[in-house]
Structure 1
Amino acid sequence: MLYWALVFLVVAIIAGALGFGGIAGTSAGIAQILFFIFLAFLVISLLAGLFRRA
């Protein structure tokens, strides 16, 4: 999932550099959403690992 967030970020940067503002904004938004979903899964996984050991 982090891979796809980085892919959309790169697409947003390239589209922004070429002047495609709408595509850049959409790609950046998707990348941001995927990144926060990844962070949520990371926190859930860490908490689950801590509770298993206890």
Structure 2
Amino acid sequence: MIVLGVILLVVGYVAGIAILWTIGIILVVIGVVLWILGSVGHKVGGRRHYW
């Protein structure tokens, strides 16, 4: 999810499409939150770790 968010950020920035930029930021933030939750031991989506 983080990689997809970064790709959308780059494409949105290069193409000048604001909606891709916004979606990219949202995906990166959600991905980082899930990554942090998974790394500290909380179950995310029924899994012990999220990657």
Q: TM-score, normalised by structure 1?
A: 0.65
More contact order relative to length (CA 8 Å, sep ≥ 6): 1
Q: Which has the higher helix share?
A: 1
Identical-residue share of aligned pairs (%): 24
TM-score by length of 2: 0.68
Whichever of the two has the greater Rg, that structure is 1
Unmatched 5+ stretches in structure 2: 43-51
Q: How big is the alpha-carbon RMSD for the aligned residues of Structure 1 and Structure 2?
A: 1.4
Number of aligned pairs?
42
Superposition misfits of 4+ residues, deviation over 3 angstroms: none
